[in-house]
Structure 1
């Protein structure tokens, strides 16, 4: 069960970073061969469901997620969204936390705890390394706009 964390700092105000980081359709656009389908009417709230489909042709992996914590940043209070993964091939959870910085801007913590069906635990370090790379690039692009 590989777990990893990515941390980034940005000059964006926390509320602005939050909007970019919780635009689920934009997430899919940042990961190669991925499309995000929102299954619940906006706005995002606890219970929102969406699926990230990654693949080419008929070979796809679905990462079905449910928002279980939805706390946007407010003033000096950090924001936190937690996603539970309910797919056949991808299980686990993800969290995105947006922490205001005293001098302005914010720090973003992206945490993933993945379980990929059918992969032996010996591959956990490889999965974590690939996850840090792919999700790190997505995070950078989301924060850039």
Structure 2
């Protein structure tokens, strides 16, 4: 059995005209949340915050729903993604150039309602979208 390869990211939520939307990113034909692998000695929550800032330019993120998380089932040779839930009240999303790639990691971003996110994202993330909906709606 292959070793588990962990990555961490955020489901970033923001209200637009009173409606909750989450941030999704597209690389080629694949939609995803901002996420990446931890650096040596880095806690996964720190990884999630760092990767989100690196991939989107968003730095003023809050964790009003706590530090709870959900993880995907292992996929693609043992990968597991841990996602935390964050609030973004302000800031423009940018897709900065990744120094290693020489280009942005992603081609497009969208703020979408959770049901639209389910249409775009792979099924491994669907249980997380249900969790996010429960948490965000319960707390307003």
TM-score bracket, normalised by the shorter chain, equals: under 0.3
- TM-score normalized by structure 1? 0.27
The higher radius of gyration belongs to 1
- TM-score normalized by structure 2? 0.28
